[in-house]
Amino acid sequence: MAVPTPHLCIIMAKQKTTNADEPMPAKRKRVRAEDRVLAKRVFVSGTMTAADIAVHFKVTHDTVSKWASEDNWDEERTNNKVSPSQLVNRFNTEIESILNSTVDESGKQRKLTVSEIGIISKLTKSVKELRNSTDPQTIMEVLHGYMGYLSNVDLKLAQATADYALAYLKLKIKEAKEK
């Protein structure tokens, strides 16, 4: 095979870079693998929506959708539906995990990235909100336990107050739906 002359190489290179009909590709931000893993973790935990993740990690919504599709984010999120107290524990564990990831093998701690700070902030806010609210599931469990106790102690009183307990539970479910 003949080797092209230097003159021909220059012409070929110019043709590749100066074709006016083809737009130059836009520069894309290189996403770290850790950011993708972190994005998945916060989506699955329910802390951020896909749109929030796109803004936070400075990627397109299409990129986040691709990640979610490839890594089954929606399925994992659905499988991870848990009670508020379990969420608080998960969020606290997530915060601890992020903080622990800043320490290398030698024990030296690096500074948190902007993404990590943002995630910790959102997780902390979610923990605070969860601790300040009671979900209908928890209310139902407490009422069920209380009514079981009351029926053992005073069956007539338990029967007389059962309608009020049910009305209270329905009210809390309605309030939760309105939030």
pLDDT tens digits along 97-154:
999 998 888 889 899 999 999 999 999 999 888 877 766 767 777 888 888 888 889 9
Q: Does residue 69 register a pLDDT over 90? A: yes
- The overall average pLDDT reported for the chain is 78
Long-range contacts of 101-109 (CB under 8 A, 24+ apart): none
Q: What is the pLDDT at residue 81?
A: 67
Instruction: Say what the pLDDT of residue 179 is.
Output: 64
**Global pTM value:** 0.42
Q: What is the band of 30 on the pLDDT scale with cuts at 50, 70, 90? A: low
Nearest one of 139, 141, 95 to 118, comparing CA atoms:
95
- Mind spelling out the 3-state secondary structure of 3-20? CCCHHHHHHHHHHHHCCC
Tell me 101's DSSP state. T
